[in-house]
Amino acid sequence: MSPRPRSLVAFALLLVVGAGCLGLVDDGETATPTVDGDEAVDAYESIDGVHAVVETTITHGNSTEHRQSAVWIRPGSGAVREEIREPASRDGNLVVANGSQLWVYDESRQVVRTQSYERGQGDAVRMDAFLRQVFDAVAASGNETVRSPPTVGMGPAPSVPVEGEAGDEVRNATTTVENYTATYEGTETVAGRETHVVELAPSGDVPTVASDLRIRYYLDAERYFPVKVTRSMTVNGEEFRVVTRYTDVEFDPGIADSRFRFDPPEEASVVDLDESQETFETRAAAAANVTMALPEPDVPDGYELFRVGVLRGEITTVTVFYRNDAGDVLYVSKHSEPRSTGSADGVTVDVAGSEGRYVATDSLGSVVWSCADGRQYAVVSVEGSLSQSEVVAIARSSGCA
């Protein structure tokens, strides 16, 4: 995963008056909720386990992408198993966690990456803590906002990208929004279950490109588990929409502990990210511990080196991180051999006589290229803080050294 977004979503849930039914005052307005954050968390944490099929559909204009996984979750414990079915290129891949250890298995490449669960989660907030914050904000009569990302299974729900300033970049809107407010939209039946529907919208001073971002949570009326989430906004003049549904939902099915254990296949390569990752504060310290020469790019004024990361495994990667006073991050990576970039899209650019690809998506503006000696390089501007021309210029200054 990449550096985590500062905030993904937050929502305020209006509960029912009495025994689980929505209460309306005489003038038709939604009644004041009577359940506080602790009660909402207690209801959610009473779930012993959840088994479901997760269907995600991503549409942008005429383009549609479909994803499907089977999941087993023990809310509040960090125990999760995701068996990926679609797309076909990822069929057979697994994500397994037991609350202390995380395994990510790529079946096609026969590679297992493992690390501590805490490290894998980064700064994500789990759903139980998120619910408490939500209800505390509602109790303040809407005068407070919430900005912590909810984690249902292994991480925050899929983000929604937005247009860049030049109109041709796509970045992650949720990294540009600090706070959200919510409106209660009534009840709706989802997969045979009654849900409370809450719509979120950015609050306060937000970039124009994120102004029409809307996120809806469909929360099970009894267990407060989000059985459906929708995100929509305008990207490059067309609606970008992500719909995630939990179907065939079973609560408390009696999940065996073995679901949350993973023994890597004998033929698979295992990369322990906790052991194979090292961080150095200076270029000299990193250079003394790796055989590859470190990238030495020309970076824009104001950017200073603050960390060098080294990842050893099937591929050795050295990454030099830079940051400016505004907190914008730029990093340059060098890989001992080519690795997947995750996308064939982008703009072709020339870097040191080699063909590179400039891609701007999902909060990153990047250039990736390979050199004659087989080594691969990448320049990445986090949150798209640098323009295409600036990122390409940094790549060319790095060349194939």
Pull the structure tokens for residue 307.
């960390």
Instruction: Tell me whether domains 37-257 and 274-398 share a fold.
Output: no
Amino acid at 307: R
Reported as half-sphere exposure (CB side, CA atoms, 13 A), residue 127 has a value of: 27
In contact, 205 and 133? CB cutoff 8 Å: no
Reported as half-sphere exposure (CB side, CA atoms, 13 A), residue 355 has a value of: 4
CA distance 87 to 71: 16
Q: Among all chains, which residue has been given the structure tokens 């602790």?
A: 38
Instruction: Give pTM, 2 decimals.
Output: 0.62
CATH of 274-398, one of 3.30.420, 3.40.1000, 3.30.160, 3.30.70: 3.40.1000
Neighbours of 115 (CB within 10 A): 18
Please give the radius of gyration of the chain, using alpha carbons only, rounded to the nearest integer: 23
- Going by the DSSP 8-state scheme, the letter that residue 36 receives in this structure is -
pLDDT, residue 112, reads 85
pLDDT, residue 18, reads 24
Nearest to 363 by CA among 3, 64, 61: 3
Is residue 75 reached through a cis peptide bond, with omega within 30 degrees of 0 on the bond before it?
no
CA distance 276 to 278: 7
Domain 37-257, CATH: 2.50.20.10
CA distance 185 to 9: 17
pLDDT, residue 238, reads 79
pLDDT winner (highest mean) among 5-14, 15-24, 290-299 = 290-299
For 107-122, how does the pLDDT look when each residue is reduced to its tens digit (9 = 90+)? 887 888 887 766 555 5
Domain residue spans of the chain:
37-257, 274-398
Residue 275 has pLDDT above 80, yes or no: no
Question: Taking CA 96 as the corner, what is the angle to CA 2 and CA 84, rounded to the nearest 5 degrees?
Answer: 80
Classified as helix, coil or strand, 141 is coil
Residue 157 has pLDDT above 60, yes or no: no
CA distance 289 to 22: 62
The fraction of the chain above a pLDDT of 90, given in percent, is 17
Classified as helix, coil or strand, 2 is coil
Amino acid at 154: M
CA distance 282 to 4: 23
Residue 34 has pLDDT above 60, yes or no: no
Beta partners for residue 347, in sequence order:
358
Please count the residues of the chain: 401
Mean pLDDT of the region 163-171? 41
Q: Which residues contact 159 (CB under 8 A, 6 or more apart)?
A: 5, 8, 172, 173, 174, 175, 231, 362, 363
Flag the least confident range among 7-16, 48-57, 97-106. Answer: 7-16
Flag the least confident range among 132-146, 236-250, 276-290. Answer: 132-146
Nearest to 155 by CA among 235, 95, 87: 95
Q: Which residues contact 101 (CB under 8 A, 6 or more apart)?
A: 114, 115, 116, 117
- The rounded mean pLDDT for the chain is 74
For 65-82, how does the pLDDT look when each residue is reduced to its tens digit (9 = 90+)? 899 999 999 887 778 899
Amino acid at 356: G
CA distance 58 to 244: 9
In contact, 148 and 10? CB cutoff 8 Å: yes
H or E element in which residue 357 lies: strand 354-361
CA distance 12 to 43: 16
C-alpha distances out from residue 126 to 114, 122, 158, 184, 271, Å: 20, 11, 15, 22, 26
